[in-house]
Amino acid sequence: MAEEEERGPGSVYQMFVLMEDLLDKLKVLDYEQHVLDKHNIKPLSRHYFVSSPHVVSNPGEQFFMFSVIAAWLISLCGRPFDTPQEYDDPNATVSNILSELRVLGGQVDFPPSKLKSGSGEHVCYVLDQLVEKALKSKGFAWNRPLYPSVEVEEECVQEDDAELTLSKVEEEMTELSGSRPAVVLESDVDAAEWNLEVERVLPQLKVTIRTDNKGCLFKLREDISKTLEKVSSREKYLNTQLEHLISEYRQAQAQLNKVKELYQQASGGVTERTRILAEISEELEKVKQEMEEKGSSMSDGAPVVKIRQSLTKLKQEIEQMDVRMGVVEHTLLQAKLREKNNMTRDMHATHLLEPNTQTY
């Protein structure tokens, strides 16, 4: 993510807001049908990927849900991505997801190990980036909200027949005082009946006192002014008392920013080395598999048996060739002996013919 700005106390709850927005965006893409129904998964809660002591966590289940949703969002962006399985290597899965996010233009400057827990700020960030890319690839755009027009109506006080205003009460009292009789009037109504009538009519009697709104506003303004003065004086006092703590806090904040810069620089190298390590690990797995295949073929006795059979057959053929060579040598020897005998015989015959010729 981008460089973090100075955070206030409300930053702890930023994940909750981000997760709620993320869930609304997933509903826009109809993730219930394409993800939940397909994999037979129950719907996500409003704060499913939030890492908090107040939220129940299940790292294995949350990481699987994160990888499945991320793979689906990457596929929506037009990038081929196989759905991860539950027993896949988490390191390879995280490395592949972050590589696809970089290809899509997302910025990743945190170690991949932050995603292995399946919850937390970085998980929400990656999913939010992917869902934004998916919405953009689908051509979805948020419209401006339309607020209903509210007409301010003037408050009117409806006078009920049973409602007596203070002015009417004063007028009646004045009339009664002006028409006071010279003699004392005696009531001939029973006190019990009078009390019953009063209880019956009492709920219908209302006295509405109309106050001066301007006076209330002036009084409210005076109270607010006094309160602001108190707050200002209290703030000055606190600033005076806590000035050394504020300076220490600023120094600590500056050191924290330096450490964050160093961490981000180091994490960038770690991310690249992690990616290279994942590639080397993949190549190593391929070499191991090839070695295992060769080892299994070498431990198999079938080729040795074939070699032995070939050697036995070769020995038999050599013996047959020796016999044939012996027969041929014997035949040649007999032919040479026969030829020699014939030559000897011819020589004797020639010697016998020479003396006879001389006598003639």
- Which of 120, 130, 177, 141 shows the shortest CA–CA distance to 31? 130
- Which of 92, 55, 50 shows the shortest CA–CA distance to 71? 92
* CA 51 vs CA 56, 73, 117, 163, 179: distances in Å: 9, 22, 9, 60, 82
Distance CA(273)–CA(283), nearest Å, equals 15
Q: What is the pLDDT of residue 356?
A: 57
Q: Who contacts 125 (Cβ-Cβ below 8 Å, separation ≥6)?
A: 1, 18
For helices 90-103 and 59-76, give the axis angle rounded to 10 degrees.
30
CB 51 within 8 A of CB 119: yes
Residue 32 burial (C-beta neighbours within 10 Å; 0-12, 13-18, 19+): middle
Distance CA(108)–CA(71), nearest Å, equals 17
DSSP per-residue string spanning 334-354: HHHHHHHHHHHHHHHHHHHHH
Q: What is the pLDDT of residue 25?
A: 86
- Which of 296, 1, 289, 238 shows the shortest CA–CA distance to 128? 1
Q: What is the pLDDT of residue 10?
A: 62
Q: What is the pLDDT of residue 168?
A: 56
Distance CA(292)–CA(290), nearest Å, equals 5
Q: Who contacts 132 (Cβ-Cβ below 8 Å, separation ≥6)?
A: 25
Q: Read off the amino acid at residue 20.
A: E
- Joined tokens for residue 152: 């301010």
Distance CA(115)–CA(130), nearest Å, equals 14
CB 107 within 8 A of CB 2: yes
The pLDDT tens digits along the chain (360 residues) read 444 445 555 666 788 888 888 888 888 888 888 888 888 888 888 888 887 777 777 888 888 888 889 888 898 888 888 888 878 888 888 888 898 888 888 888 888 888 888 888 888 889 888 988 888 888 877 777 666 665 544 444 444 444 445 455 556 655 555 555 555 556 666 777 777 877 777 777 665 555 556 777 888 888 899 999 889 888 888 888 888 888 888 899 999 998 988 888 787 778 888 889 999 998 999 998 888 887 776 666 677 788 888 899 999 999 999 898 989 988 999 988 888 888 888 888 877 766 555 554
DSSP classification of residue 189 = S
Q: What is the pLDDT of residue 2?
A: 42
CA atoms 271, 275, 278, 284: torsion sign: negative
Task: State the first-to-last Cα distance of the chain, in angstroms, to the nearest integer.
Answer: 136
Distance CA(25)–CA(19), nearest Å, equals 10
3-class DSSP state of 83 = coil
Counting other chains too, the contacts that 86-93 makes at CB distance below 8 Å and 24 or more residues apart are 90/63, 90/116, 91/116, 91/278, 91/281, 92/278, 92/281, 92/282, 93/67
CB 31 within 8 A of CB 48: no
The beta strand positions in 237-340, using DSSP E, are none
